Amino acid sequence: MKKTLTVVWVLLVLLTLAMYGLAEDLLRIHLPAWVIMLISVLKFLLVGWFFVELRHAHPFWRVAFSLFILALAVVIIAM
């Protein structure tokens, strides 16, 4: 269990650094803003599932959480 959380934490740090590099154009890769938004959604889902312990919650809350985050991302990207 503790090893899984450590791996997820390292993944979150790497995703954060990648997002920073993409947003500041440090990696010299020109990607649309929605790619950064999708990485943010992935990070948010990882935090919810592993650090808020939603993977042990009732299935209703897991589905509601995931659908809410995905719907919010779609609305933000559509703007």
Task: Give 27's pLDDT tier (boundaries 50, 70, 90).
Answer: low
The pTM for the full model equals 0.80
Per-domain boundaries in the chain: 2-78
Task: Give 29's pLDDT tier (boundaries 50, 70, 90).
Answer: confident
Report pLDDT for 12.
96
Indicate the helix (H) or strand (E) that contains 65: helix 59-78
- The C-alpha atoms of residue 54 and residue 75 are separated, in whole angstroms, by 23
Report pLDDT for 26.
65
Tens digits of residue pLDDT in 33-55: 788 888 999 999 999 999 998 98
Contacts of 77 (CB under 8 A, 6+ apart): 33, 34, 37
Report pLDDT for 14.
95
